[in-house]
A and B are shown apart, each in its own frame.
Chain A
């Protein structure tokens, strides 16, 4: 049916589709153009482009001077990168073992993984927090420990999903390559690092991107662990901004732009992997 000739109904279809694209694109353009206007000018006419007298970078200067936005970026990137790396390595190893080895507890472990996906973060956060307080990781003034206190629960939250996705991919690998490596004298660890990891690079990238984005966008966990301004990640900073500077619309627009634009740029380049990563569980599972 995709080979049909032009019809009036096609015009209608395109109108509907373009309308929905406008709802996703235009708000972002709107907020970007208003971030370049003085806060008292926004309300007068928010749809005009910031040209001539309207144009100002005051909001951005204020954002960089008052908001610690660079430090929040640094914290967020640090947390999310480590989460992504640890999730991929641990989930990769576990998936490899779960697919290739046969052992007694295999079925039990697989159901542990499946059940692990069901636990909402709400149901674990309080005990995890007090556990980490007892260990001396959470609610300290030490930057490294505080970062660690967020990283650990976020890794745990992503592991089961990552294992489910990666076992699916590793199952699809031909075992012959591993046999050849074994004949050459590789042991199991070498097979994993030299054969399985390189072959599944795209799927590892998919899982890494998923974990990174999930951690980068997460507000709930970060609000529990990151309580002082120098520890804030991007989402916590934005959330505080609403309550403290809720009426400074120019600053809000600038802050939203500063957070959204880098993500949009990354998305444009990596969209194939990102879309695959975010929907992998639903489509494969």
Chain B
């Protein structure tokens, strides 16, 4: 009988059309249009192409020759490493620790997660104040610890560190919550029988928690890598236009810079393609390395 309700297929179109129309007009069509755009001349944002580039792959040649593209790719790869090691790593340590305590687990969950709900733009302003040269929070702390000279956190040597630290910090709680959920799914009996067999706390983590967390970790690494490609708000707020000396561009911020600031719209489209290719490649690589296992 269950089937008879949904035998009449007429309502289908009413239920499905709005959502899929949206996706086709706002995701699929623009995605393919963007590929065409990357081969065309576009004079201003908001206008269509006025003809093909000569040669049609000109933007791609320019992209390979553009040193800033290479800097931004290098920075994006560093960003990925930072998210994998920093976000997933710190989150794993915190999650394993919280799994070992009785009081306060809920409190830590709430507190760790909360930077994620704050807009990265506001956090960018906040970290601008923290990293301020002339007595921001960090320089004041260092001064009270006995350091005599001020550190310029936005100088060329330290800029990448200053930009990536807040990005890393913000999302630790996200992976923490995912891992805590994974740890809670591990049956208590496994730990109990291991205890009876005389396993130490460390051995239980090493031989029970970590192997059973493998698939969760794999998900986290994929999310961290693809997330690193989408980072935009915080770097753009703290280091607009890739300053100093265009050294802090990520592929996303450089794409925005070329489109909106340099008014090089078709080149911006080409950089967007580069972003897509990077995304597909890196998630393929990560999936190959951290293959999901069945237990």
Point out the residue from B33, B45, B46, B173 that lies within 8 Å of A24, measured CB to CB. B173
Once the chains bind, are A220 and B232 in contact (CB under 8 Å)?
yes
* Least CB separation from A266: chain B residue: B117
Contact with A along B203-222 (1 / 0, CB 8 A): 01000000000000001100
Once the chains bind, are B125 and A187 in contact (CB under 8 Å)?
no
Once the chains bind, are B137 and A90 in contact (CB under 8 Å)?
no
Give complex CA distance A269, B273 in Å: 41
* Least CB separation from A274: chain B residue: B117
Give complex CA distance A118, B144 in Å: 47
Give complex CA distance A30, B127 in Å: 11
CB distance from A270 to the nearest CB of B (A): 10
Q: A103-B12, A156-B22, A219-B236 are in contact. Are A27 and B140 (CB under 8 A)?
A: no
Residue B120 interfacial (CB < 8 Å): yes
Residue A31 interfacial (CB < 8 Å): yes
**For B100, B121, B126, which residue has the most chain A Cβ atoms within 10 angstroms?**
B121
Q: A1-B195, A138-B46 are in contact. Are A93 and B18 (CB under 8 A)?
A: yes
Contacts of B93 in A (CB 8 A): 16
* Main SS class of interface, B: helix
Once the chains bind, are B121 and A124 in contact (CB under 8 Å)?
no
Give complex CA distance A113, B114 in Å: 29
Once the chains bind, are B29 and A127 in contact (CB under 8 Å)?
yes
For this complex, into which size category does the number of interface residues on chain A fall? 35 or more
Once the chains bind, are B97 and A120 in contact (CB under 8 Å)?
no
Contacts of A8 in B (CB 8 A): none
Give complex CA distance A263, B230 in Å: 23
Give B239-282 interface residues, CB cut-off 8 Å to A. 240, 252, 255-256, 259-260, 265, 268-269, 271-273, 275-276, 279-280
Residue A279 interfacial (CB < 8 Å): yes
A120-B252, A130-B46 given; 8 more Cβ-contact pairs under 8 Å: A2-B188, A16-B97, A30-B130, A156-B26, A179-B1, A188-B15, A189-B11, A271-B113
Once the chains bind, are A112 and B102 in contact (CB under 8 Å)?
no
Contacts of B94 in A (CB 8 A): 16-17, 20
Once the chains bind, are B111 and A235 in contact (CB under 8 Å)?
no
**For A1, A130, A218, which residue has the most chain B Cβ atoms within 10 angstroms?**
A1
Residue A78 interfacial (CB < 8 Å): no
Point out the residue from B25, B104, B169, B272 that lies within 8 Å of A126, measured CB to CB. B272
Point out the residue from A23, A25, A125, A235 that lies within 8 Å of B119, measured CB to CB. A235
User: Which 3 pairs, one residue from A and one from B, show the smallest C-beta to C-beta distance?
Assistant: A156-B26, A97-B15, A127-B30
Once the chains bind, are B98 and A17 in contact (CB under 8 Å)?
yes
Residue A79 interfacial (CB < 8 Å): no
Once the chains bind, are B119 and A189 in contact (CB under 8 Å)?
no
Once the chains bind, are B140 and A124 in contact (CB under 8 Å)?
no
Contacts of A128 in B (CB 8 A): 26, 30
Once the chains bind, are B30 and A131 in contact (CB under 8 Å)?
yes
Residue A91 interfacial (CB < 8 Å): yes
Point out the residue from A17, A47, A192 that lies within 8 Å of B15, measured CB to CB. A192
Question: Which of B62-70, B78-86, B174-182 lies at the interface with chain A?
Answer: B174-182
CB distance from A204 to the nearest CB of B (A): 15
Residue A217 interfacial (CB < 8 Å): yes
Contacts of B37 in A (CB 8 A): 126-127
Once the chains bind, are B122 and A260 in contact (CB under 8 Å)?
yes
Once the chains bind, are A252 and B125 in contact (CB under 8 Å)?
yes
Residue B60 interfacial (CB < 8 Å): no
Point out the residue from B26, B191, B280 that lies within 8 Å of A153, measured CB to CB. B26
Once the chains bind, are B275 and A120 in contact (CB under 8 Å)?
yes
- Could you pull out 22 A-B pairs where Cβ atoms are within 8 angstroms? A17-B94, A34-B129, A90-B19, A97-B11, A116-B27, A120-B272, A127-B34, A129-B45, A130-B45, A156-B23, A182-B5, A187-B11, A188-B11, A217-B118, A217-B119, A220-B232, A235-B119, A238-B237, A239-B124, A242-B237, A268-B110, A279-B178
